[in-house]
Chain A
Amino acid sequence: MVPVDYYIILSAILFTIGALGVLSRRNPLIIFMSIELMLNAANLAFVAFARVYETFSGQIFVFFVIAVAAAEVAVGLALIVEIFKSKKNINIDEMNSLKG
């Protein structure tokens, strides 16, 4: 059996990659993908620990996360489409109309 440390390390690597992706990319689609990556890194940690502690609650949480992520993507993509319609591009650095 693969020790749980490996899962955690993988999860951390994936999360970091996702976080770096969110911070460094300008295309919202890529950012969404990075967010998915981070969510799934978390999911992986949940599932790993669920197995270690032999409970279902971690797995159930994963389902919730997946469902919420799907909903989030749906809302997010809709927003991106609308932004594109009005601004003709989706560069995230140009979305600064709330700047103080």
Chain B
Amino acid sequence: MHLSETINTGFYFLAPGLVLVPLLGLLINAIFGKSFSEKMVGTVASLASGTAFVISVLLAYSVSINHGHTVSVPFAEWIHIGNLKLDWTFRVDSLSATMMLVVSGVGTLIHIYAIGYMHEDVRFKHEEGRFTRFFIYLNLFIAAMMILVSGDSYLMLFVGWEGVGLCSFLLIGFWYEMDTLARPSWANSNAAKKAFITNRVGDFGFLMAGFLMFWHLGSFQFDEVFKAAPAIAHESPWIIVAITLFMLVGVAGKSAQIPLYIWLPDAMAGPTPVSALIHAATMVTAGVYLVTRSAPLYTLVPQAQYIVAMVGATTALFAATIAVGQYDIKKVLAYSTISQLGFMVAAVGMGAYVAGMFHLITHAFFKALLFLSAGSVILGLERGHHALAHHGHDDHSKGKKKEAKKVESGHGGHDDHDEVFDPGDMRNMGGLRKTMPVTFWLYMAGTLALAGIFPFAGFWSKDEILLDAKLHFTSIYWQLSIAAFFTAFYMGRQIWMVFFGEARTDAAKHAEESPRVMTVPLMVLAVLSVAGGALNLPFEGFHNLGHWLSYTIGEVEGLPLNLGVAGISTVLALLAIFISWLIYGRNPLKTGQVDPLKKPLGFVFTGMENKWFVDEGYGVLIIKPFKWLSQFLADVVDWKFWHDFVHDTVIAGTYNWISEVALSRYADQKGIDAFFNSWGDFTNWLSGNVRKIQNGFVRSYALSVLLGVVLILGYLILK
């Protein structure tokens, strides 16, 4: 094919490369990674992801020159059973191309950042050999995410869905033998398991939706499902309601919505690039993508849409309140992510698919930026801490022996407490804007975008959601507005606590700025966070994203800027930041001081601090009965009943009786054995008698011959 021709028709044939190139990068690193330097490993992985981004750009270009025409690129046959025909087909349309761009674009930046981040992280944790493994997992994640967004059927989407779940599990438990403070513990593994198991609950919903869909609509393929759905919805709408609500369970699992959001805060146990890539920017938005992709189904059943929107709005508000009471810099961002995902789910639930996708994109930019900057802050503190702990020694990064490190960590840091130093605790920070100026400005950009300050990206996308809510559901509008207020407040609190005031620990005082390999990708993300709103401005002729997505999900009204909504949200955000300044900025936190909010709010703040005891509630309501049930099933049902009674007594006993008494004693011994033994005895007796003839006396043989001859002759003569 000539290039000129391709430029006119499209680069659709490149679609399989989205998955294959990251897999290739993964294989190269898996096979040759041992002999590669860290830089080489990181370069290979970043190039693989970067190639996927280039392919995504070419595919998006192809979609645009073909006026959004959906193109399916068959790649491999998968399952052919009867009427069921499932192939691995890449679906290239404006929606999937958007997701591809976000995943591979943000993914590539995070790959580059991770080269710098993991270089130090593996050294602080004394596991330098694990560097390669991290990038193998990252590439695997990109491949799985690409399968998810490019799948042509719900089942193919599910393959990617499970693939990213696996990568999430692997990466949360990346430091599986320690906790977040690198103490030996299974805390990180438990966080990984929690994420995986919670997602199983969601996957159950997804699978049920899939089964119902196949049973009643006869297909998994998107177009066929959407074609069959209206007739079914007319006959028996409950089927579509059931499908969409089961799908919502899957969305709640993957996109961390009530009631399944509990895994996401724990998922912060993973290295920070993972939190940014998987648990903020891409994987967790899979649920939003799923609802948007299923727009033709949700549009048929407004009841289900309303439930989706309510779940999203409730999550947005609920998680935002928890974020206010958190001290860990990443936990705040985790709850913020849950809250923002709630915004997106609420948006797509209300049918504002463009607004939801818009927020998904801008959120990917600014939340990845915030997480990565937080990673930079954490490493900065870690550097300061190590520099202090090693003053007078060699530079820590020169690869000391593990034993030596253990002894040092034994008598702890040179801090004023005996506990292990937590570089992620905001109470250990303060004043970092002087020591880490680049990170500070990057963090500011992310914060203003998240808080929804004009003209940052978050302002435009959040306002679009709020405006849609205002027009359709007033209650959701107020919930989301209050959530936006809290968002601005907890981000303000974070900024004052982390970057302003005086350093509260020696580590914070000696924090060092991160290298350029980490800050340059952040600058790109910062530019996107500032200018990302340009994708879909609420002015006539600027609804670029809406126009682009309308190719796939149909025409969506492009709302004009509503000054009332925008004004209220901006005032709320500025008010929240002002209040946060009053509390945290005017009188900076002192070392060891309790949170100033704790006194006036009392038990409310205790609730926020402890995540409203949801984990404990689940512990009492679900985990404890579940454990008791498991114990009961194991001890009583399985062991006592099945094992001891059914297997040992009934089955084994009957078997033993049959084999021993009926078969062995009677049939075998008395019947078969006796029969063959009698033959043996007879043969024995016969041979005993016959051998008497063989007495060895030649003369007796001669007599036998004589008698024989006489007999034969007598017979011949006398016959």
Q: In the complex, what distance in Å separates the CA atom of A26 from the CA atom of B697?
A: 10
Determine if B699 and A24 form an interchain contact, defined as CB atoms under 8 angstroms apart. Answer: yes
Q: In the complex, what distance in Å separates the CA atom of A30 from the CA atom of B699?
A: 13
Q: In the complex, what distance in Å separates the CA atom of A73 from the CA atom of B706?
A: 21
Residue pairs across A and B with Cβ atoms less than 8 A apart, 13 shown, are A19-B706, A22-B699, A23-B699, A23-B703, A23-B706, A26-B699, A92-B698, A93-B698, A96-B695, A96-B697, A98-B696, A99-B695, A100-B694
Task: Check B407 for interface membership: any CB of A closer than 8 A.
Answer: no
Determine if B702 and A23 form an interchain contact, defined as CB atoms under 8 angstroms apart. Answer: yes
Among A70-98, those with CB < 8 Å from B are 92-93, 95-98
B125 to chain A, nearest CB (A): 86
Task: Check B691 for interface membership: any CB of A closer than 8 A.
Answer: yes
Determine if B699 and A92 form an interchain contact, defined as CB atoms under 8 angstroms apart. Answer: yes
Among B680-719, those with CB < 8 Å from A are 691, 694-699, 702-703, 706
**B interface residues, Cβ below 8 angstroms from A:** 691, 694-699, 702-703, 706
Q: In the complex, what distance in Å separates the CA atom of A100 from the CA atom of B698?
A: 13
Q: In the complex, what distance in Å separates the CA atom of A98 from the CA atom of B694?
A: 9
User: Residue on A with the closest CB to B709?
Assistant: A19
Among A5-40, those with CB < 8 Å from B are 19, 22-24, 26
A84 to chain B, nearest CB (A): 16
Q: In the complex, what distance in Å separates the CA atom of A92 from the CA atom of B698?
A: 7
Determine if B691 and A22 form an interchain contact, defined as CB atoms under 8 angstroms apart. Answer: no
A97 to chain B, nearest CB (A): 8
**A interface residues, Cβ below 8 angstroms from B:** 19, 22-24, 26, 92-93, 95-100
Q: In the complex, what distance in Å separates the CA atom of A19 from the CA atom of B702?
A: 9
From A22, A97, A98, A99, B702 is in contact (CB under 8 Å) with: A22
A33 to chain B, nearest CB (A): 15
Q: In the complex, what distance in Å separates the CA atom of A53 from the CA atom of B695?
A: 45
Chain A hits for B697, CB < 8 A: 92-93, 96
Determine if A96 and B696 form an interchain contact, defined as CB atoms under 8 angstroms apart. Answer: yes
A75 to chain B, nearest CB (A): 16
Chain B hits for A19, CB < 8 A: 706
User: Residue on B with the closest CB to A20?
Assistant: B706
B685 to chain A, nearest CB (A): 17
Given A24-B699, A93-B699, A95-B698, 15 extra CB contacts under 8 A: A19-B706, A22-B702, A23-B699, A23-B703, A26-B699, A92-B698, A93-B697, A93-B698, A96-B695, A97-B696, A99-B694, A99-B695, A99-B696, A100-B691, A100-B694
User: Residue on B with the closest CB to A25?
Assistant: B699
B159 to chain A, nearest CB (A): 79
Chain A hits for B691, CB < 8 A: 100
Q: In the complex, what distance in Å separates the CA atom of A62 from the CA atom of B699?
A: 26
B127 to chain A, nearest CB (A): 82
Chain B hits for A99, CB < 8 A: 694-696
Chain B hits for A92, CB < 8 A: 697-699
Q: In the complex, what distance in Å separates the CA atom of A43 from the CA atom of B76?
A: 101
Chain B hits for A97, CB < 8 A: 696
Chain B hits for A26, CB < 8 A: 699
